[in-house]
């Protein structure tokens, strides 16, 4: 995924009905927001009002759009935001949208997690808009019953052949063959797997917000993953982000309001990344990278 031209972009859910009609672009002075935790935040740059409870975002292949996953009660789906205009260009409703977003290796397909529907939605991507193509099932689900897999974070293998899925309630990592959309492998993770990051050498890292460690998997010559151990990082690890070399893994610890940096060459020697002026009770939920330098960027959700 090309992060090179990402503009510093901070996103907030529109949680108060009085803000729905506010202009899409605001002056910096008008942007002070109160989070659900009761803390005020003063953003840098401009904010863009979005739909209900934005949980994750991914930069589109053109570098000029961001795809947002909405997981709120009143609205679930994806939104496409232009980084040039800071305006929402498209909203698509999608049942049980939850956290996971990934683009195919050729940039023509967008995958989105279906949460309680136990499925993955597959969209055609035209360059600046998405259209639903199909969905594929991770597990059969009875009507009106709770899902048994609940897909969360998504990632694509480096060769583009496999989709990795964090199955949140079954404590597993599913490997989907994209040529057939069949699950070809499942591996155990820590409790409530959430985010996934794939390094340039195809090492797969999976966070688990119900635990305190990252699960690590190596890809073998036949494409199968094998368990390679765990990395202790602290409570409630959620979003993951690797630098472009795969040498540093950044881990958001949502319930601790901290970010940990893991040296992947020395995975048992971790360093806390200061959150600067950020105070407690902010629950960092997502991370993005700007250019070739590492930056932390947060979407706010109660952890």
Specify the 3-state DSSP secondary structure of 242.
strand
- 144-174 CB burial, b ≥16 within 10 A, e <16: eeebebbbbbbbbbeeeebbbbbbbbbbbbb
11-25, 202-216, 257-271: which is most confident: 202-216
Domain 10-273 has CATH 2.130.10.10: yes
Q: Residue 269 pLDDT > 90, yes or no? A: no
> The tokens of 277 are what?
């002026």
| CA-based nearest residue to 195, from 152, 250, 242 | 152
Question: What does the domain layout of the chain look like in residue ranges?
Answer: 10-273
How confident is the model over 131-190, as pLDDT tens digits?
Answer: 999 999 999 988 888 999 999 999 999 999 999 999 999 999 999 999 999 999 999 999
How confident is the model over 180-234, as pLDDT tens digits?
Answer: 999 999 999 999 999 999 999 999 999 999 999 999 999 998 889 999 999 999 9
Alpha-carbon distances of 15 from 3, 25, 36, 54, 87, rounded to whole Å: 28, 17, 8, 10, 18
| Confidence band for 256, pLDDT divided at 50, 70 and 90 | confident
How confident is the model over 28-83, as pLDDT tens digits?
Answer: 445 677 766 676 777 777 778 899 999 999 999 999 999 999 999 888 999 999 99
């Amino acid at each position: 995924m090309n992060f090179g031209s990402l503009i510093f972009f901070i996103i907030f859910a529109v949680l108060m009905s009085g803000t729905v009609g506010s202009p899409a672009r605001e002056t910096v002075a008008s942007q002070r927001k109160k989070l659900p935790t009761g803390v005020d935040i003063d953003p840098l740059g401009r904010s863009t009002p979005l739909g209900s409870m934005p949980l994750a975002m991914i930069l589109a292949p053109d570098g000029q759009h961001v795809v947002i996953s909405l997981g709120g009660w009143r609205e679930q789906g994806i939104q496409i935001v232009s980084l040039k205009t800071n305006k929402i260009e498209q909203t698509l409703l999608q049942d049980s949208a939850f956290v996971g977003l990934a683009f195919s290796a050729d940039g023509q397909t967008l995958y989105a997690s279906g949460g309680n529907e136990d499925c993955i939605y597959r969209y055609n991507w035209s360059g600046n808009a998405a259209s639903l193509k199909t969905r594929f099932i991770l597990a059969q689900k009875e009507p009106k019953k709770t899902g048994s897999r609940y897909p969360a974070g998504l990632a694509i293998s480096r060769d583009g052949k496999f989709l990795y899925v964090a199955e949140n309630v079954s404590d597993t990592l599913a490997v989907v063959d994209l040529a057939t959309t069949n699950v070809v492998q499942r591996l155990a993770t820590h409790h409530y797997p959430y985010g996934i990051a794939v390094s340039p050498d195809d090492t797969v890292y999976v966070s688990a917000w119900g635990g305190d460690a990252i699960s690590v998997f190596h890809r073998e010559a036949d494409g199968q993953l094998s368990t390679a151990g765990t990395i202790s990082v602290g409570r409630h690890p959620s979003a993951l982000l690797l630098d472009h070399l795969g040498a540093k893994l950044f881990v958001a610890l949502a319930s601790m309001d901290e970010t940990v940096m893991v040296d992947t060459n020395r995975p048992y020697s971790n360093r806390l990344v200061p959150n600067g002026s950020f105070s407690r009770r902010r629950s960092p939920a997502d991370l993005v990278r700007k250019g070739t330098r590492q930056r932390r960027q947060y979407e706010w959700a109660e952890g």
